[in-house]
Amino acid sequence: MRLSVGLLVVALSSSFNAFALADPGRGRFHVKEAVHVPRGWVEHAKPAPDHTIVLRIGLPQPNFPVLEKHLYEVSDPEHGRYGDHLSKEEVEDLVRPHPDSLEAVNKWLVSHGFEETDIARSPAQDWITLRLPVVAVEKLLDTKYSVYKHIDSGDTLVRTTSYSLPAELHDHIDVIQPTTMFGRLKSARSTLLFNDNDEDDTVALSKAKTTADNIAATLTNQVSGAVVDASCNRTITIKCLQQLYNVNYTPQNVSTTPQIGITGYLEQFANVQDLTSFYTEQKPEAVGTSFTYVSVNGGENPQNLSQSGAEAALDVQFAFGLAYPIPGVFWSTAGRPPFKPDTSTPTNTNEPYADWLDYVLSQKDADIPKSISTSYGDDEQTVPRSYAIRTCNQFAQLGVRGVSVIFSSGDWGVGDGNPDPATQECITNDGTNRTRFIPVYPASCPFVTAIGGTENIAPEVAVSRFPSGGGFSDYFPQPLYQLVDVQKYVAALPKGTYKNLYNPLGRAFPDVSTQGDRYRIWLRGIARSIGGTSASSPAFAGLIALLNDARAAKGKKSLGFLNPLIYSAKTRGVWNDVTVGKNPGCGTQGFNATKGWDPVTGLGTPNFGKLFDIVV
């Protein structure tokens, strides 16, 4: 099934002459937002005046604190409203802007010659979308755009370092993008591993079983007591995850619509032939089945085997394989740099998860999968705080509607994403050039569940080939659900450890972990080994889909926003504590895994069977 979903915008007529009008109130402009050009970016050129920008204007949501209160009540297993999720219509009522804001912004747009047919509005009217040439945006926001180039990658973005609004509008507009956002959405590594001579074919599993470190037939995890095939110490399969995490549940598949979803970005395409090869090897009963593909904003999913993406292959194969026969959906969202900024062709602003959020929030409650995994993120500091807060609040809207939103925590430890620790530059981009650990967004959003990575079986330790992302947000305060656990960890650190390098009162991540390395996937017709918290997130999402299925079979609601449950006293015994490992970066050893919560593996890895007994 393929659905084509276009961006909800209406093109302005090429003959639109309103921008030639005198700019009303020009003398009353005041700077709304300003940033320094982040390190690694340089001003490269001026964009063509007719370069098209899709401008998103976010209006304030005065009742969001009420929505947040609902979110925590329906997500707290000790609360009487647990599972009493809100509907799409109830959520939209809560995020609707105040009439004064709608009136002020409408008046402003009319003064610039816009008509209602030129404007696209979200269902709650909290987002306004315009599509117009850069010269018009410059006039509207009293600014100048430039083409900026990323030195290392060559990526280019059309951005400004500040924009202004009439003074009377500042209280009626939260954020406008793309303006000051220099984020480079990236996959959480998904590093491919190749054996000698690029050999990693159908004999890899049998080879793994005969290696010197896997002579024993089984291994026993000392924490959980799980008995696991010894080959899992080298190669992770669906069976390995089921054994290690005590998964012994056959889905009832009570839903005919997708109940687990994978987001695909950056032209990562999910190939059905590769999925079939994966199922043939690891899930024979699933052979002949596939997934629903949905295009968001023109996203594609070509089935040429040579275009199969490693990230997409990993995500759909393990998420849907673990959850089978629960139906799944793969969203392909268009947009990525680099692009040619000298043309009038609409180009994405490298914020595709905002496009995806627009799409999924507009869907009926019954049509949204209740477990969704995303394996992408940005350095938090490259996402303007105002924009991070607004998109984070959109994740909260999904949570209160009963959706578990799951993100990988990143694969660069406390660093900036450079795989070579020796060349990491952990420097703030606020003009002070301070050395600072670099948290990852959206993993740092308090309304999502962030998943770290582990490796090995007996014992399970923090992944080491790439350091699992983790740390503390500089944008979001520490939520109450994790305050006790996190502050216990912070208090135990030697006095002065990493002083001024992190925010000890920030939202801490990851929340929990799963295996994150040596996953056996099929890519472009060949079996490969792959690693990253890109693997941890879809695996965890698959487990949540199973729990939701079991709850649905008993007439119970989906788990929804998971974090209050994860940190509750009710689930203290369901996490396999991981106490060995660290996440180095920024020229440091990073944080250490230790007893209890830590910013490397969170509270540990799941014991599905115990969790099942509690929530089902």
Q: Which residues are annotated as a binding site for Ca(2+)?
A: 577-578, 596, 598
Measured in whole angstroms, the distance separating CA 616 from the mean position of its chain's CA atoms is 27
Amino acid at 221: N
- Tell me which amino acid residue 89 is: E
* CB contact at 8 A, 518 and 181: no
Using only C-alpha atoms, the chain has a radius of gyration, in whole angstroms, of 24
User: What is the DSSP code string of 45-56?
Assistant: EPPPTT-EEEEE
Closest CA to 614 of 556, 570, 548: 570
Annotation marks residue 311 as catalytic: yes
Catalytic residue among 200, 229, 311, 460: 311
Distance CA 410, CA 375 (A): 8
> Which secondary-structure segment (H or E) carries 575?
strand 575-576
For every residue of 338-355, DSSP letters joined together read ---TTS-S----S-HHHH
How would DSSP label each residue in 215-260? -SSEEE-TTT--EEEGGGGT-B-HHHHHHHTT---------SS--E
Q: Is the dihedral of CA 536, 537, 541, 542 positive or negative?
A: negative
From the candidates 315, 380, 411, 474, give the one annotated as an active-site residue. Answer: 315
Which is nearest to 117 in space by CA: 238, 242, 12? 12
User: Catalytic annotation on 274?
Assistant: no
Q: Which of 164, 190, 375, 534 is catalytic?
A: 534
The answer to whether the CB of 146 falls within 8 A of the CB of 44 is yes
Under DSSP, is residue 178 helix (H, G, I), strand (E, B) or coil? coil
- Looking from the CA of 213 toward its CB, the CA atoms found within 13 Å total 9
Binding-site entries: 577-578, 596, 598
Cα gap 120→136, rounded to integer Å: 17
Structure-token pair, residue 88: 């799409």
**Beta-bridge partner residues of 404:** 371
Contacts of 4 (CB under 8 A, 6+ apart): 295, 298
Q: What angle do CA 95, 64, 259 make, to 5 degrees?
A: 70
Closest CA to 179 of 137, 150, 139, 149: 137
Locate tokens 């080994």: which residue?
529
Q: What is the DSSP string of 100-127?
A: HHHHHHHHHHHHTT--GGG-EE-TTS-E
Give catalytic status of residue 332 as yes or no.
Answer: no
**Residues involved in catalysis:** 311, 315, 534
